[in-house]
Structure 1
Amino acid sequence: MSSDIVIHPVTNKSQRKSFVELAYRLYKNDPHWVPPLKSETYALLNPKKNPFFEHAKVQLFLAEKDGLPVGRISAHIDYLALEQPVEQGLGPGTGNWGLLEAEDEATASRLIDTAEKWLKEEGMDRIIAPMSLSVWDEPGLLTTGQDHSPTVMMGHHKAEYQGWIESRGYNNVKELVTYHLPIQDGLPPLIDRIVKSGERNGKLKLRKVDKSHFDRDAKIIMNILNDAWSDNWGFVPLTDHEIDHVGVKLKPIVYENLIMIAELEGKPVAFMMTLPDLNDRTKDMNGSLLPFNWVKLLWWLKFPKSPTMRVPLMGVVKELQNSRLASQMAFMMIEYIRREAVAKYGATRGEIGWILDDNKGMVAIADAIESKINRVYTLYEKAI
């Protein structure tokens, strides 16, 4: 009975540990779940380590039954999101919840009710969810693609969660999609011709990221990103501290020949970031680097081999968007990185995304290289 469920705000280390550990029990028999490194999850929830907390208010809730954890949820308000235009999806009065995990529908319902009550008491009148925690982390609920494991920094959720959430009056507001692409045999002939045409443009230069100047190139990429995505649905600008934090977090899995910056007459105007799929290496570690998993991970980071490459981020400055040059630069970066990924990392497939389902430019690029949607993450909204 739902009346036996007790919901506690997380206020101490013991409850925080139960909050984190719950997912490892609920998914232990799911062959497609990739246990995140627990250190990463604790860091995500730590106000001293995650700069998201500098512009957000977060409350975690833990559900218990007979003294045992049976569910969890976060409720949070991103004050930078409240400043965004309403027509871009967020804006004034919009709060979020996320990190939902539950043993059963009754528990999920109680947790969602609790998050809604907290957000309403904080002055919110609308919810976009799930958001775990920021739009830059793992937004959306996996609604298509539970039959294969997610790539690095992507979420995985139980199929029944969709019905549980929708039964609480939540409506689909946006879909985020990822595209699967076999990469061993190259891109379609039309793309090859576009790439060769771009190579004849003397004003255009594509270069690899330089790890000896990592901080410089990381800031270039993030500044392009803030400009390129600024009109996108759900956009919230990254702060300077968040840009620095992302750089530190990604540096261990950054490889110079997998990230490119395009320069037009010497000015950075576009980038493409590709990451080898760390999940291939960590899937069997059950979230822990002890006792010897840290050695395996360090070795892999030094000599990475991965059948899968993920493209989490691409961007072209706004002034060039919707131009032929924008798509040409995208195809050139995709092809150059594809060659490196196959030859030096043993990659056989790529995954691009997430991409907003109505981002016509990126959808057109994905279609042109003959990639196919393999995962869909759904964001829901509800008035409260």
Structure 2
Amino acid sequence: MADRKIEIAPVTSKGDLNAFIDLAYRLNGNDPNWVPPLRTDMVELLTPGKNPFHEHARMQLFLARADGRVVGRISAHIDELALAQPAERGMGPGTGNWGLLEAEDEATTHALIARAEQWLRDEGMTRVLAPISLSIWEEPGLQTLGFDHPPMVMMGHNSPLYQAWIEQLGYETAKRLLTYDLRVDNGFPELINRIVASGERNKRIHVRKVDKSRFAEDAAIIIDILNDAWSENWGFVPFTETEKAYAGEKLKPIIIESANMIAEVDGEPIAFMLALPDLNEKLKGMKGSLYPFNWAKLLLWLRNPQCNGFRVPLMGVKKQWQNSRLASQIAFMMIEYIRRVAVSQYGIKRAEIGWVLEDNQGMVAIADAIDSKVNREYRIYSKVL
């Protein structure tokens, strides 16, 4: 096995693209905690003209073959918006990425990463942050903790073998991304209840649910807050106008109005919190396909999603309000309102918050205050090219 010849070639045809996508299903099919993504979503992710990421990025996909078989895959990509960010915030000039790694063994992994690195060098990059698949807003990082349970919606899951294989190549941890698990059916500590009650007496604060009848407008409000709130965070890359519309269109089918919040102070939207039902529970048995009848099952489920958990993937508070008492109060109010809906309407017992940057002191403090515990960890690695 170690002596076999591994050939790395760029994806240049529809057949190659299908092989690139199919490999993940073959290599992970026996992992009970891997959730097969929909093939249609994968095609959309990788296709310029369908995914607006490609409007400001360039990408090359590679396949590894040995003995006539596909044995690995990787993407190499450069995000022009990421290049424009300050270097001290993680991205910045000269920083490229690779991602979507799948490989049968260590030798294949090393050959694929070497080829991705060479492509990045040829494109003028001097540093790599990886894995990022494809945008920081999609599935960033390599899972390094929590392999004993499946990920929630929009989170990745990979072989635990990859960590050592990647680190052997000189990759060092740039940042850890954490997810927090918490029980929600028994409520939160009394201190949190008092903070929420105090916020409810404050006439300046109004927390409202997202309105799906004007969802495009509310989605734009949310992403505008996000662009402002996260603008100084490590790894931040702004959403474009096209991506705002695209994100709204993708999220709308799985948004539950009463479980997603926008907070206003004196009538101005300053914060938001999103909570999504764990779509992965439904996707797990579909094997990546909506046909012949899975599409109907999924549509029916989305009308009244019954699942074991909700995930809070994103929240944000405008910069001018961050580190204020009012901001933390609003955060606890939104969490409590979402908890009430999740428990009373959907019978949810647990929720997940994340991902959260390991050094995001505000979010870590909130997670600790509601008695949540880290249940998964992802790492983004860095290497000088």
Question: By the TM > 0.5 criterion, same fold?
Answer: yes
Q: Which residue of 2 aligns with 1:292?
A: 293
Contact 2:90 2:235 in 1 (8 A): yes
1:58-110 residue CA offsets vs partner (Å, 9 max, x unmatched): 00000011111100000000011000001101100000000000000000000
Within the alignment, does 1:326 sit opposite 2:327 as a pair? yes
Partner deviation per Cα, 1:271-300 (whole Å, 9 max, x = no partner): 000000000111011000111111111110
* Distance of 1:54 and 1:67 partners within structure 2: 34
Rounded to whole Å, the distance in 1 between the matches of 2:75 and 2:295 is 29
Number of equivalent positions: 384
Give the structure 2 partner of residue 245 of structure 1.
246
State the distance in 2 between where 1:319 and 1:367 align.
24
- Indicate yes or no: 2:181 matched with 1:168: no
- 1:315-364 CA-to-partner distances (Å, cap 9, x unmatched) read 00000000111110000000001000011112110000000000000000
Tell me which amino acid in the other structure corresponds to 1:207. R
Counterpart of 1:135? 136
Q: SS of 1:98's equivalent?
A: strand
| One-letter identity of the residue aligned with 1:172 | T
Looking at structure 2, the residues matched to 305 and 343 of structure 1 have their Cα atoms a distance apart, in angstroms, of 12
2:384 maps to a residue whose letter is A
| Percent identity (aligned) | 62
Q: Is 2:4–2:66's contact at 8 Å kept on the other side of the alignment?
A: no
Alignment of 1:14-53 (within 5 A): 14-53=15-54
Which whole-Å CA distance do the structure 2 matches of 1:383 and 1:173 have between them? 12
DSSP 3-state at the match of 2:177: strand
- Structure 1 position 30, deviation (Å): 0.4
What's the CA shift for 1:2?
Answer: 5.5
Q: Which residue of 1 aligns with 2:86?
A: 85
Distance in structure 1 (CA, Å) of the matches to 2:320 and 2:304: 39
- 1:308 & 1:268 partners in 2: Cα distance? 28
| Aligned residue identity for 1:27 | N
Answering whether residue 193 of structure 2 is matched by residue 187 of structure 1, we say no
1:1-384 counterparts in 2 under 5 A? 1=2, 4-384=5-385
Structure-2 separation of matches of 1:170 and 1:364: 29
Distance 1:320 1:154 in 2: 29
C-alpha separation in 1, matches of 2:354 and 2:277: 14
Matches of 1:137 and 1:304, distance apart in 2: 22
**Structure 1 Cα separation of the partners of residues 349 and 102 of structure 2:** 33
Distance 1:193 1:187 in 2: 10
Contact 1:2 1:106 in 2 (8 A): no
- Give a deviation string over 1:8-40, Cα, whole Å, max 9, x none: 100100000000000100011100000001111
Q: Secondary structure at the match of 1:340?
A: helix
Amino acid at match of 1:311: V
Cα distance between partner residues in 1 of 2:206 and 2:190: 22
* Deviations 1:235-275 (CA, angstroms, capped at 9, x unpaired): 00000000110000111001100110000000000000000
The code of the aligned residue for 1:329 comes to: I
SS of equivalent to 2:351: strand
In the alignment, the residues of structure 2 paired with residue 172 and residue 16 of structure 1 have an alpha-carbon distance, to the nearest angstrom, of 30
SS in 2 for 1:373: strand
Runs of 4+ in 1 over 3 A off after TM superposition: none
> By how many angstroms is 1:306 displaced?
1.2
Q: Secondary structure at the match of 1:310?
A: strand
SS state at 1:40 partner: helix
Which letter does structure 1 place at the counterpart of 2:221? I
Which residue identity lines up with residue 187 of structure 1 in the other structure?
F
In 2, distance between residues paired with 1:171 and 1:245?
33
SS at match of 1:4: coil
- Once residues 345 and 17 of structure 1 are traced to their aligned partners in structure 2, the CA distance between those partners, rounded to angstroms, is 38
1:231 aligns to what SS in structure 2? coil
Gaps of 5+ in 1: none
Q: Distance in 1 between matches of 2:307 and 2:227?
A: 29
1:3 Cα shift? 5.2
* SS, match of residue 381 in structure 1: strand
Q: Structure 1 length normalisation: TM-score? A: 0.99
Alignment partners' CA distance in 2, 1:248 and 1:66: 43
CA distance in 1, matches of 2:306, 2:261: 20
The CA distance in 2 between the partners of 1:8 and 1:233, in whole Å, is: 33
Letter in 2 for 1:186: G
- For the 8 Å contact 1:2–1:110, the answer to whether it is kept is no
SS in 2 for 1:355: strand
